């Protein structure tokens, strides 16, 4: 089997201009711009980049235009997952992606599959009603997509989503940021666990790994700012000290390796 490599990025929160600053006076764009430069100059060229959501700070057409121009500079294909900050049905309209096959007819749902080097990758959309934000919720149609994909037989399978499916032993995150029906999602994956590489997500602005029932879940730090996630934390707090980052994932014959990197925040 030929090795396959992909870069995992998330939570860039790009604003409507390159000089936009968030309510904490942090500028997301220079971090995302630096990240594009890092990816284009990696010693090992990835086969693609996956962005697991919250591409923009608010679902503003101007912000999507800024993000589209920036990520068009990548020298490899990029794919996106719908995050809670990305609105509904907007990512696919504004952001070009690599070749894919749609798995939903709902224009508000971004769910699709693509294959590279004999590996199958499936993007699912758990963006729920605005009133439950920042929690997620899989529709019955999306759960059916998972059920259909998570069969015992088939090529190696990797799932991409925005929200964490399972508790992370951090009070605030577990109360505020999970997919409400994440256990149902997890149970649907069990028939495919012998071919399932893992589930990669964003949303938590942390490098976190969970292994449950033989299924591996991994998040990645935000590309611009981080959260604190200790067991005793009852609310989600910002961490202004730690750096932005990305993941570099190796898919090998019978083995997966996840490297998680950080980089200095641009001045």
What residues have CB less than 8 Å from 241, skipping those under 6 apart? none
The stretches in the chain having pLDDT less than 50 are none
Structure tokens at 53: 């959501």
Place of tokens 């790009």: 14
Taking the CA atoms of residue 43, residue 48, residue 51 and residue 56 in that order, the dihedral angle to the nearest 10 degrees is: 90
Rg of the chain, C-alpha, whole Å: 17
- Report the pLDDT value the prediction gives residue 56, as an integer from 0 to 100: 98
For the sheet with 48-51, list strands across it. 78-80, 48-51, 4-9, 245-252, 255-262
Say if CB 186 and CB 146 are below 8 A apart.
no
Taking the C-alpha atoms of residue 46 and residue 147, their distance in angstroms, rounded to an integer, is 29
The alpha-helical segments, DSSP class H, found in the chain are: 28-40, 61-71, 91-94, 140-149, 171-176, 182-189
Instruction: Give φ, ψ of 151 to 5 degrees.
Output: -95, 160
- Report the pLDDT value the prediction gives residue 239, as an integer from 0 to 100: 85
Q: Cis ω on the peptide bond leading into residue 74 (within 30° of 0)?
A: no
Class in CATH terms, 4-262: alpha beta
- On whether the pTM is more than 0.95, the answer is yes
- Report the pLDDT value the prediction gives residue 234, as an integer from 0 to 100: 84
Query: What are the pLDDT digits (tens) for 11-40?
Result: 999 999 999 999 889 999 999 999 999 999
């Amino acid at each position: 089997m030929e090795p396959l490599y992909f870069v995992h990025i998330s939570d860039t929160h790009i604003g409507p201009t390159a000089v936009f600053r968030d309510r904490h006076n942090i500028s997301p764009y220079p971090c995302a711009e630096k990240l594009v430069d890092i990816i284009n100059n990696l010693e090992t060229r990835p086969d693609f980049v996956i962005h697991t959501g919250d591409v923009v700070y608010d679902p503003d057409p101007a912000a999507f235009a800024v993000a589209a121009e920036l990520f068009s500079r990548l020298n490899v294909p990029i794919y996106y997952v719908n995050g809670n900050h990305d609105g509904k049905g907007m990512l696919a309209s504004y952001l070009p992606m690599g070749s894919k096959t749609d798995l939903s007819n709902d224009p508000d749902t971004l769910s699709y599959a693509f294959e590279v080097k004999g590996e199958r990758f499936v993007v699912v959309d758990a963006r729920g009603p605005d009133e439950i934000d920042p929690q997620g919720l899989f529709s019955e149609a999306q759960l059916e997509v998972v059920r259909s994909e998570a069969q015992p037989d088939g090529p190696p399978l990797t799932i991409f989503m925005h929200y964490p499916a399972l508790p992370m032993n951090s009070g605030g995150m577990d109360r505020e940021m999970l997919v409400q029906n994440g256990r149902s999602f997890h149970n649907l994956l069990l028939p495919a666990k012998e071919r399932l590489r893992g589930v990669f997500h964003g949303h938590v602005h942390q490098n976190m790994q969970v292994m449950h029932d033989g299924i591996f879940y991994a998040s990645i730090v935000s590309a611009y700012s981080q959260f604190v996630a200790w067991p005793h934390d009852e609310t989600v707090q910002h961490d202004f000290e730690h750096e932005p980052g990305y993941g570099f994932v190796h898919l090998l014959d019978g083995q997966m390796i996840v490297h998680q990197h950080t980089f200095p925040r641009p001045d």
